[in-house]
Amino acid sequence: MNGCGDIRDQLAFYLDDELSDLDRVRFEEHVRSCHSCSDAITGERSFLELLRSDGRGDSVPRSVRSRVEGVLQTATEAERAPADLRRRVEHLVGVPRSVPAWRRFAVASMAVSLALLALAFAWRTSAPEAVGPSEFAVMSVATHQRHQRGSLPLEIETGSPEAVKNWFGDKVPFLLELPTYQEVSGQDRLYGIGGARLVAYRGDYAAFVAYEMSARPISLIVTSTTLAPPSGGQIVVARGLTFHFDVVDGLRVITWSHRGLTYALVSDLEERGEDSCKVCHAGAPEQDFLVELRVDRITGFSGLQEP
Amino acid sequence: MTQGQIDREFAAAALDHLDALYGYATALTRDRMAAEDLVQETYLRAVRAFGRLLPDSNLKGWLFAIMRNVWLNQQRHDRTGPAFIELDAEDDDRWRFLESGGASPLAELEQSETRVRVRAAIESLPPAFREIVILRDIEGFSYQQIATIIGCPAGTVMSRLGRARDRLRLLLVDRRQGVAT
């Protein structure tokens, strides 16, 4: 080599420090005696320096840095085994992940009731005192919005609650139960699951389940109560459970805790009072279900102003 | 050394690359919110997997490779394909220099204009070219490291980088004066 053509071919490799020692020596020997190639190197070096000095984007926003620091902070908590390690060890030593059948049934039943109650509470207004939404409520609304914008595509697309539950089985550090009243009761199919995905929350994964009803999206986000104890918002107590109702960015979000899990339900539905129940359960064959719910709901809202 | 100390060292080292990862995420997604989600997801995966990272591994390259894999997985699950939503207009650098209050307004103006031109030129590249320029010319990865990150032969990295720079040269180099400023 050592002709100008060879040198020009290797110019980028030289400036990128990708030449072998031998080729580099030969390259530099040629350039020392060739003004044309020397000028070419100067021009190319200026061009690359321009890219390096002015091509870099903005620094990361402070909010993102805080989120990442939260993720890493979890990694430094030596006193608590990471959830992933905990699951792997439990699997190795043979700890069963499933819970007894009676408990699964109870949890599923409560999940149905809770979802309906939450929808019923969503459209009440003017609590005597309301404080700001919890971090989990805000995250849930942001998750709903990002999913709507297409930033959080579903990782599993299915209309089956059972398939969604099974998909989360080895991905989240808790046993997820989803409302199945529509499927179990045989009522008219008014809403359906679109799918689900994992979402990050405080250094671990939370479950995000996308529902749709008449083309209107409803999001259910679930994590452990240890990570996200419900708080803030308009508080309503019913059936021994405490519901927190908030409006964030024009979206309604209800959070509650049950059996170690915290749920958040986000929607833009506008129906009020008992009509909200009928939105999802207008075709329910067991009308006693709605009657019971109504009684409970009114009791629960006794201290609040009717809309 | 305890596991906790190792974790703290990892956390500190990983944070050093936050800005670089955010820049790469922005180049991949071209959407600020998606980039933020991608950064967080990358660190979450890294925290879970860093026990498998060999002691002498290149942490920065490893984080970039995780980010790219997360992004590719997201694209596979997104039926609508990559979201090429432009950054918010109010965050555009074209307007930022107007708010600066330095001692030399003319110099700052020229510097800002150059920066805007360079970034606009990089932004205008096709995604595969833009990515390779970010990894090599902004972040300084070697050809082999880039090949590992994006999962292609080093020869592909070289040819792709050459074509990307040719395009940028056409956009940025003044034929009469050399490099445009």
Name A108's bridge partners. Answer: none
- Among chain A residues, the shortest Cα distance to B9 is held by A76
Predicted pLDDT of residue B101: 40
**Residues carrying CATH 1.10.1740.10, chain B:** 3-77
**Residues carrying CATH 1.10.10.10, chain B:** 125-173
Residue A305 in domain? no
What CATH topology corresponds to B3-77?
A: Rna Polymerase Sigma Factor; Chain: A (1.10.1740)
pLDDT reading at A272 higher than 70: no
Residue B33 to residue A151, Cβ atoms within 8 A = yes
How many Å apart are CA A283 and CA A248, to the nearest integer? 30
Predicted pLDDT of residue A83: 56
Predicted pLDDT of residue B32: 84
Residue A169's nearest CA partner among A238, A111, A90 is A90
Question: What's this model's pTM, rounded to 2 decimal places?
Answer: 0.50
Residue A306 in domain? no
Burial of A284 (0-12, 13-18, 19+ CB in 10 A): buried
* A246 vs B67: which has the higher pLDDT: B67
Residue A80 in domain? yes
Same domain, A110 and A192: yes
Average pLDDT over residues A274-295: 47
Predicted pLDDT of residue B67: 93
B42-50 CB contacts, 8 Å cutoff, 24+ apart: B42/B66, B42/B67, B42/B70, B43/A68, B43/A71, B43/A72, B43/B14, B44/A71, B44/A200, B44/A203, B44/A205, B45/B70, B46/B14, B47/A71, B47/A72, B47/A74, B47/A75, B47/A82, B47/A203, B48/A82, B48/A84, B50/A75, B50/B10, B50/B14
- Among chain A residues, the shortest Cα distance to B17 is held by A60
Predicted pLDDT of residue B88: 31
Alpha-carbon distance A44 to nearest alpha carbon in chain B (angstroms): 8
Same domain, A66 and A186: no
Predicted pLDDT of residue A89: 54
Same domain, A167 and A258: yes
pLDDT, averaged across chain A = 73
pLDDT reading at A34 higher than 70: yes
Alpha-carbon distance B77 to nearest alpha carbon in chain A (angstroms): 6
* Total number of domains in chain A: 3
* pLDDT tens, residue by residue, A108-145: 455 555 555 555 554 444 444 456 788 888 889 888 88
Domain hosting A294: range is 97-300
Predicted pLDDT of residue B81: 47
Same domain, A68 and A123: no
Is-contact A36 B114, C-beta < 8 A? no
Same domain, A42 and A120: no
Is-contact A144 A211, C-beta < 8 A? no
Residue A67 in domain? yes
Q: Residue A32 sits in a domain of what CATH number? A: 1.10.10
How many Å apart are CA A154 and CA A147, to the nearest integer? 8
Residue A253 in domain? yes
pLDDT, averaged across chain B = 77
Residue A307 in domain? no
Selecting from A50, A52, A68 the residue whose C-beta is nearest the C-beta of B43 gives A68
For domain B125-173, is the CATH number 2.60.40.680? no
How many Å apart are CA B179 and CA B171, to the nearest integer? 10
Window B:94-133, CB contacts with A under 8 Å:
114-115, 117-119, 122, 133
Same domain, A88 and A177: no
Same domain, A252 and A269: yes
Determine the length of chain A: 307
Complex prediction ipTM? 0.72
Question: pLDDT class for A185, splitting at 50, 70, 90?
Answer: low
Average pLDDT over residues B48-77: 84
Residue A57 to residue B39, Cβ atoms within 8 A = no
CA angle B26, B27, B31 (to 5 degrees): 45
Residue B77: half-sphere exposure toward Cβ, Cα within 13 Å: 20
Question: pLDDT class for A13, splitting at 50, 70, 90?
Answer: very high
**Amino acid in position B141:** F
Same domain, A105 and A249: yes
Same domain, A44 and A180: no
pLDDT reading at B79 higher than 60: no
**Amino acid in position B95:** W
Same domain, A84 and A29: no
Whether B77 and chain A come into contact, CB under 8 Å, resolves to: yes
Residue B83 to residue A56, Cβ atoms within 8 A = no
Window B:142-171, CB contacts with A under 8 Å:
142-143, 158, 161-162, 165, 168-169
Same domain, A121 and A238: yes
Residue A51 to residue B137, Cβ atoms within 8 A = yes
Whether A59 and chain B come into contact, CB under 8 Å, resolves to: yes
Residues of A whose CB is below 8 A from B143? 16, 18
